[in-house]
Amino acid sequence: MFGIQGRLTFLFVVIVTLVLAISGTYAQYSLSHELEVGNQRLRQGVLTRLQTSLPSALWDLDKAKVDNIVAAEMLPPELVAIRVYDTSVGLFSGKLRREDGSVASLENDSQVAGVPVVADLAYRDAGAAGNAPKPVIVGRVVVNFSRAQMDATLAAEVRRKVIEVLLLDLILVAALALSLRIVFEPLKQLRDGLHDLATRGSDEVGELPDNRRDELGDVIRGFNAIQRRVKAIIARTREAEDEARRAAAATARALDDLQRTQESLLQAERLASLGGLVAGVAHEINTPVGIALTSASVLMEATEKVHQAVADGAIRKSDILRYLETAEESTKLIMNNAYRAAHLIHSFKQIAVDQVSEARRRFELREYIGEVVSSLQPKLKKTHLSVEIDCPPEIVLDSYPGALAQVITNLTLNCVEHAFDAETEGRININVRPDGDWIQMQVVDNGKGIAPDMLDKVFDPFVTTRRGQGGTGLGLNIVFNLIAKQFAGSITVSSVLGQGASFVLRIPRVTPQEHGAQGGEPRAGAGAHA
């Protein structure tokens, strides 16, 4: 691609060439018109003179006079041949121009080059008396005109114009090259200086010489000033970059410390959660175990009495009936309370194993949600809240039950801690609906609701309304991370003050392997809520 200098030169050459071409075309047209008019006048003149002078000589059959008249008219080079015909004898006289320009007599009526023009020769007898004489056609004359001279003149003019245009273009190119060099040489220096300033170290680029005293000198001096300023800016930028790198390193170290601290806090929350769960379950198991132990003691005492009566031989039917009644009642109490304790231990064992091992397995969702809620009964029985589960029995998940238990636990206890006051009655609903390869779980309460200014921040870490009252602000953040990272799902929240809150979870029935691999990261358990 041409540079600016080449484009300017090309533009000027094109403009000059077009102007000269238009001017030459107009001059050529004018010359052609003039030559055409001159040729037409020549034709008219030759024919007029021949029509005037030849009729009398042809009437007298004076061949010598006719030859002289014809020879005199052959002087212009445009005439190729003149042939004079008599009405009775045919070709009477003729002259032909040879290729060398000489004129010779034409002896026969052969083919002649050029454009023929034919005119009749009329003779008037001037000596006749009376009325004007009637003209008599005595013959005709054929004049052959050549356009070669006119074409040669036009061709020579074209050649002259072309040579003139080429010479002017060459002169213009040379003049423009010299004049534009005065402007573009300093611009090239500026270009090279800018390129060096952009691609090399600023300290290695020298300033351009500014000894010119014209407008370009002012531009160069301005460039040098900008270059000095750019060098100063680059130096300050390097200092700022060094400072930014040091600050980034310090920030990275602080972030690592923060992450380790957060992991430690999450681990502590998880262990504290399991400890709280153990204490609650132990307290719940204490009652049925105590009743079973008391019933066993009563049964053992009654058995000893019957055994002693049998040994003494003083056993009576009433003693046996009373013993059977006591045994039946004690057995029922022992079985019922043992079953209750076994159920609590089974639920606690499954939840605890899931949370500790974080193993993946297939499980029936409705039954598992029931086990999670049962493990929360030590906490729920101290409140006036009821938890209702609405889940179809046929939903089976291939996922991580421990993580799901933490999600349900955190959401449920979040409602217990934040949605209701201590003595307020309320309801928490866990609703599950299948959606193709996904399930949608809704945890909704009819409590206080979430303030609008908190609604967009409930999933952020360390955001809580119970700061200093046991709330860490990690519960919902852990729920969000588990749903997004481990289950590859989503969670949304909506709430209206005074009308409760609704958390909607969407998770796949089969957790993708690449997301389940993230399940080993530390996370809080039952006691970690916002």
Q: Which amino acid is at 286?
A: N
pLDDT score of 73: 86
Strand residue runs (E) in 446-495: 490-495
Judge contact between 147 and 115, C-beta under 8 A. Answer: yes
- CA atoms of 511 and 506, how far apart (whole Å): 12
Give the pLDDT of residue 521.
41
CATH topology match: 4-165 vs 358-530: no
Determine the average pLDDT of the residues in 138-163: 87
Q: How confident is the model at residue 507 (pLDDT cuts 50, 70, 90)?
A: very high
Confidence band of 161 (pLDDT split at 50, 70, 90): confident
- Can you tell me the mean pLDDT for 222-230? 76
Of the candidates 479, 481, 491, the one whose C-alpha atom is nearest the C-alpha of residue 515 is 481
Q: Which CATH architecture has domain 358-530?
A: 2-Layer Sandwich (3.30)
Under the banding of pLDDT at 50, 70 and 90, the label for residue 262 is low
pLDDT digits (tens, 9 = 90+) for 88-145: 778 888 888 888 878 888 877 777 887 888 888 888 776 555 566 678 888 889 888 8
42-68 per-position pLDDT tens digit: 888 888 888 888 888 888 888 889 889
- What are the extents of the domains in the chain? 4-165, 203-357, 358-530
Is there a contact between 396 and 368 (Cβ–Cβ < 8 Å)?
A: no
pLDDT tens, position by position, 270-294: 555 556 556 656 666 777 788 878 8
Q: Is 167 exposed, middle or buried (0-12, 13-18, 19+ CB in 10 A)?
A: exposed
What pLDDT score does 353 carry?
55
Give the pairing of strands 136-145 and 384-390: unpaired
* Token pair in block for residue 232: 């100063």
**Most confident segment among 180-189, 200-209, 502-511:** 502-511
- Which residue in this structure is represented by tokens 């009964």? 377
What would the pLDDT profile of 381-409 be if each residue is shown by its tens digit?
888 899 999 999 889 999 988 888 889 98
Strand partners, 442: 431, 504
Residue 524: φ, ψ to 5°: -85, 165
For the chain, give the number of residues: 530
Nearest to 391 by CA among 440, 444, 445, 446: 440
Contacts of residue 80, defined as CB under 8 A and 6 or more positions apart, other chains included, come to 96, 97, 112, 113, 114, 144, 145, 146
pLDDT at position 494, please?
A: 92
**pLDDT on residue 21:** 86
148 or 242: which leads in pLDDT:
242
Using 50, 70 and 90 to split pLDDT, how confident is the model at 205?
Answer: low
Choice among 208-212, 223-227, 258-262, 451-455 with the minimum mean pLDDT:
208-212
Higher pLDDT, 149 or 386: 386
Q: What are the DSSP E strand ranges found in 173-315?
A: none
Between CA 173 and CA 159 the distance in angstroms is 21
Fold of 4-165: Beta-Lactamase (3.30.450)
